[in-house]
Amino acid sequence: MQRWKLSRKKVSIFPLLLLISLVFIAFSTLHTEHSIQRIHENPDHVDNHREVSSVTFVKPNLSGHLKRASEVLDRFSRCNSTIEYSGRKIAWLGSSRRSSHRRVRPERCDVFSGKWVFDNASYPLYNESDCPYMSDQLACHKHGRSDLGYQHWRWQPHNCNLKRWNVKEMWEKLRNRRLMFVGDSLNRGQWISMVCLLQSVIPADKRSMSPNAHLTIFRAEEYNATVEFLWAPLLVESNSDDPVNHRLDERVIRPDSVLKHASLWEHADILVFNTYLWWRQGPVKLLWTADKNGACEELDGREAMELAMGAWADWIASKVDPLKKRVFFVTMSPTHLWSREWKPESNANCYGEKDPIDIEGYWGSGSDLPTMSTVEKILSSLSSKVSVINITQLSEYRKDGHPSIFRKFWEPLRPEQLSNPSSYSDCIHWCLPGVPDVWNELLFHFL
């Protein structure tokens, strides 16, 4: 009996304790959300009474921080020291919005879902030898590839058709405008593809190409138009921004600033961005703009990419008027480094591959799904300011489309490499004509 009374007394007290706890939790939650909201609205404000997190939100792209030219990163820039990552995050305009609030209009046709169809009547859209701007890194036939089937595949969406390429119509879309590709060597490959697709109808004396530089420009006088490429492999400022000399042991970025590159891309009418591959090359050193002592923090590639894309997204959200400027983001280009992923028990890569993968929905390790999820979250918050060109799945099928050994290599190959072609095969970039032409057909489709 005594035991029952004690239990009943505890039961009668429990609701009161629960009510008090719920009121405390609700108050704490409201206080925390209010504090975070104020940081997003005014990232420079610091609440000294807030102890909810060690995260500091940094407002990106503040031009006042850099006042001396010597503070701009170049290939000679190094870290004076490396310290533990402080947990700083980018507080970009719009980062507090929930992607679920975005109104998504259903597409009549998902042009990114489909299959590759062999079509040697319509493809390729140009000949490798007819394009004077072809890169030796991508000219596979010139460098010995005899099987040319990779040039004849057409992307066919399910239940609809991709808009057919029309060079004259594309030039009319570009009349009096600047089209600029911004990114790494994969985006440069898409730019070369676009130039090759366009140049044939422009008389030789009415077109020009500037020398290879940070910004390289193809001009067509008749249309008063340019097709440009800006080397910015990490989107933010980095010590790898030299288009030629960028192979460095220590990769350093300013995670909170795109201003160095944005000063060149801001006047373009159509922008095509990409970034991905360079973030998969190990840890990245962070040199925050406000830090003057040269001490770097270190972070893994995916998290560093998220910071960089936050700074990029801040520029897009604050500077882009969709009625005046079109912005596209090209998703990650997959690699094909492990043949066992499509051919079990094999131990090679894309070398010798002549046909696409015919398993619908195939994914290999060359596409990093967590990174894709991070990128999708950022892009969804940008709403109508950015159009996404999702090349990842359709390019996953094309294990046959890489240069492999059929390209110019900038350094002499060693005898042990020559005896084992798979050891030096390029399974990252793409032969031209080839897969990047379809990326540009998708761009044409959405313009």
Residue 35 has pLDDT above 90, yes or no: no
HSE (side-chain half, CA atoms, 13 Å) at 329: 22
**Percent of the chain at pLDDT above 70?**
84
- As a whole number, mean pLDDT of residues 239-258 equals 91
Report which DSSP code applies to 164: P
Write down the pLDDT at residue 21: 43
- The helix (run of H) or strand (run of E) holding residue 328 is strand 326-330
Average pLDDT, the chain: 86
- The helix (run of H) or strand (run of E) holding residue 306 is helix 301-319
Residue 307 has pLDDT above 50, yes or no: yes
pTM (2 decimals)?
0.85
- As a whole number, mean pLDDT of residues 104-115 equals 78
pLDDT tens per residue across span 159-204: 899 999 999 999 999 999 999 999 999 999 999 999 999 999 999 9
Task: List, by residue number, the catalytic residues.
Answer: 185, 426, 429
Write down the pLDDT at residue 410: 87
Judged by DSSP in three states, 216 sits in strand
Report which DSSP code applies to 385: G
| 49 or 184: which leads in pLDDT | 184
Residue 47 has pLDDT above 50, yes or no: no
Which pair of structure tokens corresponds to residue 271? 């922008």
**Segment among 104-108, 129-133, 324-328 with least mean pLDDT:** 104-108
Residue 93 has pLDDT above 80, yes or no: no
**d(Cα 352, Cα 264) in Å, to the nearest integer?**
41
Instruction: Match 């079109």 to its residue by tokens.
Output: 326
- As a whole number, mean pLDDT of residues 12-29 equals 41
**d(Cα 276, Cα 401) in Å, to the nearest integer?**
19
**Percent of the chain at pLDDT above 90?**
72
**d(Cα 155, Cα 194) in Å, to the nearest integer?**
17
**d(Cα 269, Cα 174) in Å, to the nearest integer?**
9
pLDDT tens per residue across span 335-390: 999 999 999 989 999 999 999 999 999 999 988 888 999 999 999 999 889 999 99
Judged by DSSP in three states, 117 sits in strand
